[in-house]
């Protein structure tokens, strides 16, 4: 089952996950989580852009979707967030809206997230995969 979360500016209040900062658009970007736990990032026509920093290289997210890795740094209008921080915000947004109590997004921002070697799902390091049960 695919889950989608819009990311946007808090004072606009029109997104699922809210951030402060005038450089973040009201509905800035979207994170899609597929049924296997893969995370995809897309820009929603923001004014100040969306990009990721991967291995020191900046990748613009201007059209289409870009897969997120646990080591990526996400930039929304120039404000940077780790994937762990975004996962924590997604979990909080999901809990507060009660949109889907069964969403498999860990709320542990201090725990390192890795991709399961068996199925590719993003899961906390050292924990059993939430999708296939494989120990990381």
The pTM is what? 0.68
CATH C-level class of 3-101:
mainly beta
pLDDT of residue 88: 84
Query: What confidence score (pLDDT) does residue 123 get?
Result: 66
The list of the chain residues with pLDDT below 70 reads 94-113, 119-121, 123-124, 129-132, 136
Q: Which residues of 68-103 are buried (b: 16+ CB within 10 A; e: fewer)?
A: bebebebbbbeeebbbbebbbbbbebbeeeeeeeee
Residue 102 CA to chain centroid, in angstroms? 17
Give residue-wise pLDDT tens across range 60-86. 998 789 999 989 999 999 999 999 888
Domain borders along the chain are 3-101
């Amino acid at each position: 089952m695919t889950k989608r979360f819009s990311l946007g500016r808090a004072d606009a209040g029109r997104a699922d996950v809210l951030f402060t900062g005038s450089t973040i658009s009201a509905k800035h970007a979207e994170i899609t989580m597929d049924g296997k736990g893969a995370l995809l990032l897309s820009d929603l026509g923001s004014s100040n852009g969306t990009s990721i920093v991967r291995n020191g290289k900046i990748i613009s997210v201007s059209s289409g979707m870009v897969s997120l890795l646990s080591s990526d740094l996400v930039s929304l209008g120039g404000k940077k967030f780790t994937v762990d921080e975004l996962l924590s915000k997604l979990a909080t947004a999901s809990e507060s809206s009660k949109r889907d109590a069964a969403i498999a997004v860990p709320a542990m921002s201090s725990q390192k997230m890795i991709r399961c070697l068996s199925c590719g799902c993003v899961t906390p390091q050292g924990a059993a995969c939430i999708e296939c049960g494989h120990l990381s």
